[in-house]
Amino acid sequence: MRADKVYIVGFTSAGKTSLARELGRRLGWRVEDVDEGVEARERRSVAAIFAADGEPYFRAIERQVVQGLLGLREAVVATGAGTFVEPDLRALIRADGAVFWIDVPLARLIGRLPQDGSRPLARSRAELAQVFEARRLAYAEAHVRLDGSRATVEELADAVMDWLGA
């Protein structure tokens, strides 16, 4: 097998958690979700953290969660949409495992976004488009780009399994 740890990166609603769970099931590996780790640690939702304490506070907790996962083997980690954007976290993640980017066009993502306010950076389309374009540059530093424009979770998992040689 080419790697003993997988990170899934991508924009909001790209399917990171779904893919991580499918890979964990297939590989028999532990599955970790960075946003869920932050929520468990803080005992409140990501949206509530952003609203009460702001993005810098959230990013500091997110960093601690990621650092706590470093060194864990036989694991699939679904990152938050912004986790891979910070250069030093990106370097740590790239060094710790194989990184797969689910690349989904913005128009398709907009249709998937919940309208309940649970996605703090998805307030307006213009703001969303700006964040999307900025983050694509970071995501492009993943080891493998997965075309998520029309692929199912199962098809994406097949591609990762093929790459891993599993």
Residues 30-63 have pLDDT tens digits of 999 999 999 999 999 998 999 999 999 999 999 9
Q: Beta partners for 31?
A: 76
- Reported as half-sphere exposure (CB side, CA atoms, 13 A), residue 1 has a value of 12
pLDDT at 120 over 80: no
Homologous superfamily (CATH) for 5-164: P-loop containing nucleotide triphosphate hydrolases (3.40.50.300)
Closest CA to 112 of 95, 93, 132: 132
Q: Which amino acid, residue 160?
A: V
Rounded to whole angstroms, how far apart are CA atoms 152 and 165?
Answer: 20
Spatial strand order in the sheet of 98-103: 30-33, 75-78, 5-10, 98-103, 144-147
pTM of the model: 0.92
- Reported as half-sphere exposure (CB side, CA atoms, 13 A), residue 74 has a value of 7
pLDDT band at 113 (very low <50, low <70, confident <90, very high): low
Average pLDDT, the chain: 92
Locate the domains of the chain by residue range: 5-164
